[in-house]
Structure 1
Amino acid sequence: MNSIDLTTKQCTPCQGGIPPMTIEVANQYLALAPGWELRDDATKIKRTFKLKNFMDALALAQRVGHLCEQEGHHPDITIGWGYCSVVFQTHKINGLHENDFIMATKVNMLAGNGA
């Protein structure tokens, strides 16, 4: 699985009715999204980006928001002075789907991965 480049994939609409990823599969995908962690019994992934100040955090949140609008997959974003936290989950299945990891890798790329 490590050879998959999720940044080249597009989110696909999830209509529900499918099971969420198991924790084992989620952990395999997590290896492709450095800096992200499983949360809430592996139903969400989260990453907190450390930034220089509030305006940098706001700018990253805006870039993430624009990207997510284009992809049609929307996270919960929290910002404050020096940080921007992003949480993905696929609400229709109350868990994780490949789309969440596609977005995580794209957010990493957008943030410069080392933010």
Structure 2
Amino acid sequence: MTAEATDLAAKTCEPCRGGIPPMDREMAETYLVQVPGWSLGSDPDHLVRTFKFGDFAAAQDFAVRVGGVCEAEGHHADINYGWGYCTVKFWTHKIRGLHENDFVMAAKVNGLADTPYMPALASEGDVSPTARKG
């Protein structure tokens, strides 16, 4: 994990009560480099990452751990999992877009992964930390 990502992971989420504009796409892209493996989606702008696992139980365990971090921080993700995968999606509902809190949570979720992130080229196209051929 980079120093910037470690800094993000060490932060706590600040309550967002709405009434502020969401982060613009340009700013989101500057934060994105601090959370390897995540990508930006749109409508509304959000962060998303799919983690790969060897079976259903490992994916379910990861989803539960992500849920625990979300509950502790008071900033909740959309979590979708099934056999061998867990997709995590963050955005700040009250502002219908991205806030620094979403990147804080992405960094915290990256910290839950069992192995470090490896870029797509090195993992033969899959950006998840457990997809490498070994």
Q: TM-score, normalised by structure 2?
A: 0.81
List, as ranges, runs of 4+ consecutive aligned residues in structure 1 with deviation greater than 2 Å: 112-115
Q: Which residue of 2 aligns with 1:63?
A: 65
Bigger Rg, structure 1 or 2? 2
Q: Which residue of 1 aligns with 2:91?
A: 89
- Unpaired runs of 5+ residues, structure 1, are none
Indicate if the aligned counterparts of 1:26 and 1:42 stay in contact, CA closer than 8 A: no
The number of residue pairs the alignment matches comes to 114
Match of 1:77 among 76, 79, 98: 79
What is the letter of the counterpart of residue 90 of structure 1? T
> How far is 1:40 from its partner?
1.4
Indicate if the aligned counterparts of 2:44 and 2:96 stay in contact, CA closer than 8 A: no
- Alignment partner of 1:34: what SS? coil
How far apart are the structure 2 equivalents of 1:42 and 1:34?
21
Q: Which residue of 2 aligns with 1:8?
A: 10
Q: Which residue of 2 aligns with 1:39?
A: 41
- Alignment partner of 1:45: what SS? strand
Indicate if the aligned counterparts of 2:63 and 2:79 stay in contact, CA closer than 8 A: yes
> How far is 1:42 from its partner?
6.3
Q: Which residue of 2 aligns with 1:108?
A: 110
> How far is 1:81 from its partner?
0.6
What is the letter of the counterpart of residue 14 of structure 2? T
How far apart are the structure 2 equivalents of 1:3 and 1:85?
25
Q: TM-score, normalised by structure 1?
A: 0.94
Residues 36-45 or 66-75, more deviating? 36-45
Q: Which residue of 2 aligns with 1:18?
A: 20
Greater relative contact order structure (CA < 8 Å, 6+ sep): 1
**C-alpha RMSD over aligned residues:** 1.4
Q: Percent identity?
A: 56
